[in-house]
A and B are shown apart, each in its own frame.
Chain A
């Protein structure tokens, strides 16, 4: 198939970027979206142009490296699918496709479609863990965990840290990401001792990184490739309220 692409090109963080148009022919419908960009890049290099930079790694939907706002939708039109798993058969011959980086103050553009997501790491550093230094663990069966809690914790822990929630949120908020971790750890008995300090620390780091607040529109959950729901934001709010009341 034949496509016209409009891709955000920005040489570096300090230079303003713009949308640039590219025509591309003979795209296989069995190719993934990133493989389509690979083909475009091979051509650009051959023509002596700078190829389009984009983040990607595992290409099987689990590492969370790939991003891309495709036609105004985080990870493109297919629900529960990362960009690397999105295939060109979801598009039609002659389509015009807009490709942009995640846009958030907390995710500055590094180059073209590559953004800096270290703000997420800083949120985890502020409390997104259970303090269990190596070697101190009791037997794995010492503390039973109700199956439904373990399953719910797993569903929240399925977050791949891609940042689609932030990209899709009208406020550029990282609440779904943060909520997923707070819910995961808060549902496990091992996570209880640090439950309050965790949520206060993470919320502070979230705000300091420049993410916006939550308007509960649900755009994040709709964009999440791992289908993490608004429940985790509810849990985050609840934990925060209790922790803040206790801290006051």
Chain B
């Protein structure tokens, strides 16, 4: 008889399947990256939306706010350093968000190689997301490009003076440039739908609430989406309809 120690044969954790690139490259890992970066972007958007409302205080205050962003932290920090920290963080979050989205979208396309011949409207809890998330994302990306050319770099804006934020806003949404306003509002609708699903989806991905809290998260997402859209939309509408001049 053998004197070897016999161990029960069983699957050891080490023998189990492993993701080729580690847990953070898995679908859920990428979703967590997307969720965390998305929440950072949401925080930025809310701050941005709130800042925009300075336009109603007039040229002086609005431009002072814009200048304040550049000089924030001085003299402890060099000029514009806070702004650049924010910008780098924002760019990193946006890249992480887009990169994870692209990878997951490509995997999703591989996962459904043949489409159904027959299609019924979606019937899930967040059914609008099927139609709005990816298309919405493309609209938002296009908008952001335009928005940077318009109000950050002023390439397509008549007001070239970087320090005159107020003038630039008034110029871009002036009544005769109504298509810009329409595009802006359209992008806002896309953003609204993106947030309505994106916020609760991020919470679901990170913390997985139960049914009760999922319902509450969905309600909060909707509320945030409405406030953000309304807060952003009020500025171009006010300018276009000449309530601010």
Complex contact flag A–B (Cβ < 8 Å): yes
Give A contacts to B, CB under 8 Å: 6, 8, 19, 69, 71-73, 98, 100, 103-106, 122, 125-127, 131, 133, 168, 170-173, 175, 194, 197, 200-201, 203-208, 210-223, 229-231, 233-238, 240-241, 243-244, 247-248
Please report which residues of chain B, range 3-25, place their CB below 8 angstroms from some CB of chain A when the two chains form the complex.
8, 10-11, 13, 16-20, 23-24
A67 to chain B minimum Cβ distance, whole angstroms, is: 13
Give B contacts to A, CB under 8 Å: 8, 10-11, 13, 16-20, 23-24, 26-32, 104, 107-108, 110-120, 122-127, 129-130, 133, 197, 200-201, 204-211, 214
Asked if residues B8 and A133 are in contact (CB atoms below 8 Å), the reply is yes
- A to B CB contacts below 8 Å, 28 in the list: A6-B118, A103-B113, A103-B116, A104-B112, A125-B17, A131-B10, A133-B8, A171-B111, A171-B112, A172-B108, A172-B111, A173-B111, A200-B16, A201-B18, A203-B26, A203-B28, A206-B27, A208-B20, A212-B108, A218-B126, A220-B124, A221-B125, A230-B211, A234-B208, A234-B209, A238-B208, A240-B26, A244-B32
Task: For A197, list chain B residues within 8 Å (CB).
Answer: 13, 16
Q: Smallest CB-CB separation from B34: which chain A residue?
A: A213
A229 to B114 alpha-carbon distance, docked (Å) = 27
Asked if residues A217 and B126 are in contact (CB atoms below 8 Å), the reply is yes
Known A-B contacts A133-B10, A219-B127; A230 and B17 likewise in contact (beta carbons under 8 Å) = no
A183 to B205 alpha-carbon distance, docked (Å) = 15
Asked if residues B27 and A105 are in contact (CB atoms below 8 Å), the reply is no
Choose from B113, B122, B127, B210 the contact partner of A231 (Cβ within 8 Å). B210
A240 to B130 alpha-carbon distance, docked (Å) = 24
A243 to B204 alpha-carbon distance, docked (Å) = 17
Asked if residues B208 and A212 are in contact (CB atoms below 8 Å), the reply is no
Asked if residues A105 and B113 are in contact (CB atoms below 8 Å), the reply is yes
A19 to B117 alpha-carbon distance, docked (Å) = 8
Asked if residues A98 and B117 are in contact (CB atoms below 8 Å), the reply is yes
Task: For B123, list chain A residues within 8 Å (CB).
Answer: 73, 219, 222-223
Asked if residues B125 and A237 are in contact (CB atoms below 8 Å), the reply is no
B39 to chain A minimum Cβ distance, whole angstroms, is: 14
A8 to B204 alpha-carbon distance, docked (Å) = 36
A210 to B106 alpha-carbon distance, docked (Å) = 11
Task: For A231, list chain B residues within 8 Å (CB).
Answer: 208, 210-211, 214
Q: Smallest CB-CB separation from A206: which chain B residue?
A: B27
Choose from B13, B30, B116, B205 the contact partner of A201 (Cβ within 8 Å). B13
B31 to chain A minimum Cβ distance, whole angstroms, is: 6
Asked if residues B30 and A213 are in contact (CB atoms below 8 Å), the reply is yes
Asked if residues B16 and A240 are in contact (CB atoms below 8 Å), the reply is no
Known A-B contacts A69-B116, A69-B118, A214-B28; A233 and B13 likewise in contact (beta carbons under 8 Å) = no
Known A-B contacts A216-B197, A233-B208; A203 and B112 likewise in contact (beta carbons under 8 Å) = no
